[in-house]
């Protein structure tokens, strides 16, 4: 999920560096074996003045990768590096590698502005970027051309027409609809956006929907509950949280959300209040409660809007990944295996 947001940010940085005339090199994780902090498709852009965007690890590889990128800019030739967190203990500790996997990274000079790829991301449609590792021409695939690659899985190395290529599969992440533009909703929107959700904030109060109150990239929609389905097209992969602090508003928005196909409907507030909301709707007909999460959020012990927002977004991620929230010390499977 994070790869979509990161790719968009990196491609925007490529466009900016191209417009300013600054050369840049792009590092991409092309293969991971074992446990690693980032997955295939993670990207780090390094410009000739030393600025960088994105990341390819938890911070343990970035310094070395930046040095490789600057060398690539001087030579004009791409390099492929393999970083091991266990087999070579001396090298691993010198780099501060914390995971016990092997990460292959290709660092290549950026030769164009990646305009078509940036437009594809802006259109929010699934796409595939096929990059030959022999220096051949990069291809962007959309629609039926991309379907076969997307059906075969996540980003990966694959032999295409006899050439080893990195197949970067990019799917739009799920949307999170935050029903409320109040102060506490701002924290939910911010954190959800940072972890990769496509965030939409809806409220019937235009005064709260001022763009300066929210992060760039968060869509703001003025709508009441009656028009919610018209103003925001929701899909089965999407999530929604209602947190207006107004009983009648929450009831009406909740009615609209339960009539939509979203997989998750969170309700902020005490359990008794959620039960009252459900009871009010039950008078009108059966209420599908399987998708209802109220009180919303994980039970981590919260105090204040920021901590509540953290608990809410953590539950969203757990539901999306199909995991039962618990301490990582209780997990026996590798911690870096996920749906991302």
Domain ranges within the chain, ordered by starting residue: 2-170, 175-321
CA distance 231 to 244: 18
Decide: helix, strand or coil at residue 155: coil
pTM: 0.83
Over residues 174-228, the pLDDT tens digits come to 999 999 999 999 999 999 999 999 999 999 999 999 999 999 999 999 999 999 9
Residue among 191, 212, 216, 236 at smallest CA distance from 2: 191
Tell me if residue 40 falls in helix, strand or coil.
coil
Express each pLDDT in 84-99 by its tens digit: 865 444 344 345 455 5
pLDDT in tens, 23-53: 999 999 999 988 777 899 999 999 999 899 9
Q: What's the mean per-residue pLDDT of the chain? A: 91
Cβ contacts of 8 within 8 Å, gap of 6 or more: 118, 121, 122
Q: How many CB atoms lie within 10 A of CB 75?
A: 10
Distance separating alpha carbons of residues 151 and 328, to the nearest angstrom: 31
Residue 247, phi then psi, degrees to nearest 5: -60, -50
175-321 under CATH 3.40.50.720, yes or no: yes
């Amino acid at each position: 999920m994070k790869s979509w947001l990161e790719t968009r940010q990196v491609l925007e940085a490529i466009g900016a560096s191209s417009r300013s005339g600054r050369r840049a090199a792009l590092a991409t994780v092309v293969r991971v074996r074992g446990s690693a902090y980032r997955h295939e498709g993670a990207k780090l852009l390094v410009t000739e003045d030393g600025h960088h965007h994105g990341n390819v690890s938890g911070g343990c590889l970035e310094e070395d990768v930046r040095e490789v990128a600057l060398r690539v800019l001087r030579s004009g030739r791409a390099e492929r590096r393999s970083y091991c967190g266990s087999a070579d203990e001396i090298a691993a500790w010198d780099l501060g590698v914390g995971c016990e996997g092997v990460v292959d990274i290709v660092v290549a000079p950026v030769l164009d502005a990646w305009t078509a790829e940036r437009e594809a991301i802006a259109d929010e449609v699934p796409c595939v970027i096929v990059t030959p590792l022999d220096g051949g021409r990069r291809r962007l695939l959309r629609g039926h051309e991309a379907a076969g690659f997307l059906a075969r899985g996540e980003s990966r190395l694959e032999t295409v027409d006899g050439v080893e290529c990195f197949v970067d599969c990019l799917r739009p992440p799920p949307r999170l609809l935050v029903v409320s533009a109040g102060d506490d909703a701002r924290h939910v929107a911010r954190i959800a956006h940072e972890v990769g959700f496509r965030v939409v904030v809806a409220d019937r109060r235009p005064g709260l929907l001022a763009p300066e109150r929210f992060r760039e990239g968060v869509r703001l929609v003025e709508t009441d509950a009656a028009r919610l389905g018209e103003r925001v097209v929701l899909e089965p992969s999407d999530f929604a949280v209602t947190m207006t602090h107004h009983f009648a508003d929450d009831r009406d928005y909740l009615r609209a959300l339960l009539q939509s196909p979203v997989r998750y409907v969170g309700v902020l507030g005490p359990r008794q209040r959620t039960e009252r909301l459900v009871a009010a709707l039950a008078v009108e007909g059966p209420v599908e409660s399987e998708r209802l999460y109220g009180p919303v959020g994980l039970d981590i012990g919260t105090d204040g809007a920021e901590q509540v927002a953290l608990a809410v977004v953590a539950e969203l991620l757990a539901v999306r990944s199909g995991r039962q929230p618990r301490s990582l010390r209780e997990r026996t499977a590798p911690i870096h295996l996920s749906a991302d």
